[in-house]
Chains A and B, each alone.
Chain A
Amino acid sequence: MSADSAAAPLTLPNQGSGRRNMLERVVAAATFLLIVAFAATIDGFATTGNLGIILINSASLTVLSCGMAVVIISRGLDLSLIAQMVAGATIFGMLISGGVAAPLALLAAYLSMVAIGALNAWLIAYVEIPSMLATLASSMFIVGLFRFAVLRGEYLLLLPKSDPTVAFFAGRLLPFLPVPVALMLGTLMATWFLLNRTVAGRIIYAMGDNFQAARLSGLSVRVTAIVVYVFAAFTAITAGLIMASASGAVDFRTVTNGTLLFEVILVVVLGGIPLRGGRGGLRNIIVGVALIAVLRNGMTLMNVTTQTQDMLKGLILLAAIITDNYLNPRDAETDTAGDL
């Protein structure tokens, strides 16, 4: 008995029933089939060079997905993730261009992310605005603020590519390890640690499973909400640094066209993390990212236009939620109107 209870906290919550993980398995199988199909049909897909490109290109998406996954597991939603990403990158870029030392600039950028994440958490956990609406509004607010006050109405902020810090983020840490991939791995490990090895992680699962029960049993759900949203903000700026350094620019249109946010949500849903939270872990994120990354890479190699890609991804999302609904049907007795 005592051995069981000691071992229990180490068990991942998503390792329970087989049926629950069906979507994850379906997606993993689909990814595998897709890899086989692409490898057979597309020249240059199954090469180590292309594998490196897939990894580098999916680094920022993975990092963002980690933040979103943690938020969703705690039964939240952060629609302002992309806005935070560009806002953080903008702060960093402005400071770098203004001649501020790189460590200071990074520190300032990360500190301001703490502020933004805490503001989101405050709106959600203390003011008690539903997370979807709170982050939707804060997204508008952040983008408006930065374009108004910092960019003076522009959409684009160019980064000095020659700057050593920018070059560092776009370069390689070790000969075989590009910095974006290293950051991606670091974020994945941090996510795993947060979810599985910390008190906050246990509370995050408890909040997602049954928020009222978690709150009423005295868990510090409000403080944990701050941890969750600040963590998400950290992943946002990390992704922002990767993306801005790679492209040499911070583009606010990534927020307005909504594609990236959509991809992040797509990754989480495809990985099998339900929007109602309480379940899911690192494996789910990796599975979700794998499918999207492979799909994106393969379609780009086949010269499919972005619009068609978007359309296909939309259809995949619809297919995924229909499959998920078939595998894990909602209970009509507990189904409430507020559940979006």
Chain B
Amino acid sequence: MAADFHFASLPAQRVPRLVVSPRRLLADVLSKGWVESLIPFVALICAVCGILLATDGYFAPSNLRNLAQYAPDGGLIVIALLVVVAVGGIDLSVGSNFAMSAFVALFCFHILQLPVAAVLALTILAGALVGTVNGAIAGLLGCGALLTTLGTMITVRGLYTLASQAQLVEISSSARMDDTWDWIGFEKVLTLPVGFWVLLVVAALAFVMFRQTRFGWHLLAVGGNRKAARHGGIRVRQTIFLSYLLAGSLVGLAGFLFAARQNSIGSDTGIGMEFFALTALVVGLGGFVPGRGAVVSVLIGFTTIYVLNNAMVNAGFRGDFVQLSMGAIIILILAVDVKFRKNRHRLLASTYLDPVAFETDAVKGMQGLMPDETAPKLRDATILAVGQVDGPEDVLLDKDGNIYCGSRDGYLFRIAAPGHEKAEVLAKLGGRPLGLAFDRQNRIVVCVAGMGLMRVSLDGAVELLTDQAERSLFSVQDDTTIRMADDLDIAPDGTIFFTDASKRYDIENWGLDLLEGRPNGRLLSFDPATGQTRTVCDNLRFPNGVCLTHDGKYLLVASTWECSILVFDLARLREGPRVLTSGLPGYPDNINRASDGGYWVALAGMRNPVFDAAMKNPQLRRRMTKRVPPTNWLFGNLNIGGVLKIDGSGTIIDALWDTPDGPLYMITSMREHEGALYLGGVTNNKIGRLELTGADPGWCGPTSYWGAQG
């Protein structure tokens, strides 16, 4: 049977290549996980740009090498602080400990004349000793970290001042030279100073520790939620102790590098270092956040502060101005971060729904067929399996007359012929089974919202065909996952065409997609031979029902929000859809073949003039969703639904309605089978069966698709 329409003369449907909306872009960016670590990146870029504009040749190789020369001790201390902050503590003693370690290094080198390796070991040990004290008091005993490290900070500083005053003259008058010592302090390996390599290696190790090791995970768990970590069997106190120990050792290493480079110490060594490190940490983490081991972010924060500091001093600003701006930067970043963290989800919630104006064609072709103009024919329908099925969005009948349908809780049911009395589980799918179709091998292919495209053989075996599509170009939100697989049909060559009704809303929020009114859906195809999923047409407005024309050459797709039926030419899919019929009186859902060469179209709900007007006014819908409770929102009328019969050219020839208080409302699917029409509804708990007059009593769906022998 040839199609009764001439494809080329149908009006073309405009499908946007790209949906551009600033609000949507904002919402998509906000929902990204990386947005929280954006702050240090932005800060670094701002700092670098500012320096580039304000200075000349700051980023020359010689100056960069100079920067790298002095960076390692600060960088190591920031990483040490990160380890402690990640576990939920704080270490104010890093500055004093740093000075003390530098003193120990110089003392061991110049006074005790030890070999460099021993100096290194003893210095790290000295740093670790302070870490041990901190860890023992703050970790093992469980005292407050702030007071503990304040105490060690003051004590160690006093000790350092006493010790350095006693030994300073001897240290500075020592004449000991050592090649290894100088190599560590001044040499370069592969153009970078040795100390900088040390920093890089430590950073890499810390990165691996937080990502890959059990200890690193324990650190983050304790920092994230101490109680949960304890209940989870982590030794909280030991973990905290070890983190302070590790931090102390890192500070010791930093002090060693400093000593090898400077070969001297002063009374102000390490003073204010804890504030500098804290600033870098706050900039890097975008706030003071326990339970995050973001080594890279923190190093970026360190670089920002370090370079900014250095550039300001280079440009002739005094230390007081640098201090002033550092204070201002911390306040600013903390303020932005606190407010952002607090309001991010609100902002996301208020920007995610992004309505757009669009106009639906006026209702046409329904003269004498509207519910108030014609007798409710569905009144004569018999009701099957009441209460045994919950939400049969689609109904499917095999050649023997058994009914198959999905349910709200993810089952696929079979209701056996001839009595259609008892529903029994065929398979458990999960998700929300929607559209159904038989393939050539008599297996059921199911669209499952939340899962994808699945296939069930009649003995109950389930397999997933696909749950991912190609990611569309320029999409910020990852749209590879098929969120709402809705309906499908299968071409003679076996290709499965199915719709993903919305890329932005899950099945439980399908109503929001209507209120948004944007083309969020897509038509996909799956080739069982190759296993490939392709996007046939992106950016459709809630593409819902799919039906192959009787000749198998065209594909009908219901565009629910537009109240129209689109048609694709399977031979020329690239040309895009044309409009078969528009201006339907309700929201079309599934489309299925009729025995006389026409098609049945289910209407899930009815349009009304108020809501049609609201669709032209996006601001109204935006304000409505913000200010009015969802139960009072304007919406299409879902209390009455029906079935339209269209002929092969798309002209409406009949309409079946139930009485206003009838049991068959919100009809989402119907199948003709041997002279009767079976009706399903996505929110209904029953299946209707209506005897048709004048229909071919021998016609059934699988035969129509695959022939009598299949």
Residues of A within 8 A of B155 (CB): 310-311, 314-315, 318
Residue among B137, B148, B154, B321 with max Cβ neighbours from chain A (10 Å): B154
For B159, list chain A residues within 8 Å (CB): 311
* Interface hits, A123-172 → B, CB 8 Å: 123, 127-130, 132-134, 136-145, 147-148, 151, 153
Residue of B nearest to A141 (CB): B327
Hey, which chain B residues are within 8 Å of A305, CB to CB?
162
> For the complex, what is the distance from the CA of A311 to the CA of B321, rounded to whole Å?
32
> Which one, B196-204, B219-227, B477-485, is touching chain A?
B219-227
**Which A83-141 residues have C-beta < 8 A from chain B?**
123, 127-130, 132-134, 136-141
Max chain B Cβ within 10 angstroms of own Cβ: one of A262, A265, A311, A315: A311
Chain B residue with the shortest CB-CB distance to A334 = B227
Question: Contact partner of B291 among A139, A141, A315, A337, CB < 8 A?
Answer: A337
**With the chains together, A329 CA to B334 CA distance in Å?**
32
Q: Which of B270-278, B440-448, B572-580 faces chain A?
A: B270-278
Q: Is the CB of A143 within 8 A of B154?
A: no
Contacts of A339 in B (CB 8 A): 144
As a 0/1 sequence over residues 323 to 337 of chain B, the CB contacts with chain A under 8 angstroms (1 = contact) are: 111111011001100
B626 CB-CB contact with A under 8 Å:
no
Q: Is B19 in the interface zone, CB < 8 Å from A?
A: no
- B271 CB, min distance to chain A CBs, angstroms: 7
Q: Which residues of B contact A123 (CB under 8 A)?
A: 331, 335
A300 to chain B, nearest CB (A): 15
Q: Does B152 contact A (CB under 8 A)?
A: yes
Residue B232 at the A interface, CB < 8 A?
Answer: no
Question: A147 touching B320 by the CB < 8 A rule?
Answer: yes
Bin chain B's interface residue count.
Answer: 35 or more
B224 to A153, Cβ gap below 8 A? no
Q: Contacts of A33 on B, CB cut-off 8 Å?
A: none
Q: Are B158 and A314 in contact (CB under 8 A)?
A: yes
A113 nearest CB across to chain B (Å): 18
B321 CB contact (under 8 Å) in A148, A314, A329: A148
* Given contact pairs A137-B331, A337-B223, A148 touches B154 in the complex (Cβ within 8 A): no
Which of the listed residues B151, B278, B338 has the most CB atoms from chain A within 10 Å of its own CB?
A: B151
In the complex the two chains form, is B161's CB within 8 Å of A136's CB?
A: no
Known contacts A129-B338, A137-B330; decide if A321 and B147 are in contact (CB<8 Å): yes
User: What total of chain A residues lie within 8 Å of the partner, measured CB to CB?
Assistant: 58
| Residues of B with C-beta under 8 A to A147 | 318, 320, 323
| A245-260 near B? 1/0 per residue, CB < 8 Å | 0000000000011110
- Decide yes or no whether A212 CB sits under 8 A from chain B: no
B247, chain A: closest CB distance, angstroms:
15
Chain B residues near A314 (CB-CB < 8 A): 151-158
The minimal Cβ–Cβ distance linking A318 to chain B, given in whole angstroms, is 4
For A129, the closest partner residue in chain B by CB is B334
Q: Is the CB of A130 within 8 A of B288?
A: yes
The verdict on B322 contacting chain A, using a C-beta distance below 8 Å, is yes
**What separation, in Å, do the CA atoms of A337 and B165 have in the docked complex?**
39
Chain B residues whose C-beta falls within 8 Å of the C-beta of A309 in the assembled complex = 158
A257 to B153, CA, bound (A): 11
Q: B143, A322: Cβ atoms under 8 Å?
A: yes
- Is A47 interfacial (CB 8 A cutoff)? no
Determine if A307 is an interface residue (Cβ-Cβ < 8 Å).
Answer: yes
Q: Which of A138, A143, A310 contacts B320 (CB 8 A)?
A: A143
Whether a CB of chain B sits under 8 angstroms from the CB of A317 is yes
Determine the residue in chain B with the shortest Cβ distance to A145.
B324
A325 interface hit (Cβ, 8 Å): yes
Which B residues are in CB contact (< 8 Å) with A308?
Answer: 158, 162
By a CB distance below 8 angstroms, the chain A residues around B320 are 143-144, 147-148, 151, 153
A340 touches B (CB below 8 Å): yes
Contacting pair B331 A129 (CB below 8 A): yes
Contacts of A333 in B (CB 8 A): 227
Does B286 sit at the interface, judged by CB under 8 A? no
Tell me whether A335 and B326 are in contact (CB under 8 A).
Answer: no
A243 at the interface (CB under 8 A from B): no
Residue of B whose beta carbon sits closest to that of A259? B154
**By the criterion CB–CB under 8 Å, are A340 and B143 in contact?**
no
Knowing A144-B325, A262-B154, A318-B155 are in contact, say whether A129-B335 is a contact too (CB < 8 A): yes
List A contacts of B88 (CB < 8 A): 336-338
Which one of B143, B323, B334 contacts A144 once the chains associate, using CB atoms below 8 Å? Answer: B323
A324 cross-chain contacts in B, Cβ below 8 A? 143
Alpha-carbon gap, A274 to B318, bound state (A): 39
Q: Tell me, rounded to whole Å, the shortest Cβ–Cβ distance linking B105 to chain A.
A: 21
Q: B154 to chain A: which residues have CB within 8 Å?
A: 258-259, 262, 310-311, 313-314, 317
A245 CB, nearest partner CB in chain B, Å: 25
- Chain B residues with CB under 8 A of A269: 147
Chain A residue numbers with a CB within 8 Å of B235 are none
Interface positions of B from 152 to 193, Cβ below 8 Å from A:
152-159, 161-162, 165
* Cβ 8 A contact of A325, one of B142, B236, B327: B142
* CB neighbours of B153 from chain A (8 A): 258, 314
B282 within 8 A of A: yes
Is A330 a contact of B222 with CB atoms below 8 Å?
Answer: no
Q: How far is the CA of A305 from the CA of B230 in the complex (A)?
A: 45
CA distance in complex: A241, B322 (Å): 28
Of A143, A153, A307, which one neighbours B162 at CB under 8 angstroms? A307
Min CB gap B224→A, angstroms: 7
7 new A-B contacts at CB < 8 Å, known A123-B331, A337-B88 = A133-B288, A140-B324, A307-B161, A317-B147, A322-B143, A325-B142, A330-B142
Chain B residues in contact with chain A, CB under 8 A? 87-90, 133, 137, 141-148, 150-159, 161-162, 165, 222-227, 230, 236, 271-272, 275, 278, 282, 288, 290-291, 318-328, 330-331, 334-335, 338-339, 342
**A to B CB contacts below 8 Å, 30 in the list:** A123-B335, A133-B330, A136-B330, A140-B324, A140-B327, A141-B331, A143-B323, A144-B323, A144-B326, A147-B320, A151-B320, A153-B318, A153-B319, A153-B320, A275-B147, A308-B158, A311-B155, A314-B152, A314-B153, A314-B155, A315-B155, A317-B150, A318-B133, A321-B143, A321-B151, A329-B142, A333-B227, A335-B142, A336-B226, A337-B226
A-B pairs with lowest CB-CB distance, top 4: A144-B324, A337-B88, A314-B155, A141-B327
| Chain A interface residues toward B at CB < 8 A | 77, 123, 127-130, 132-134, 136-145, 147-148, 151, 153, 256-259, 262, 265, 269, 275, 305, 307-315, 317-318, 321-322, 324-325, 329-330, 332-340
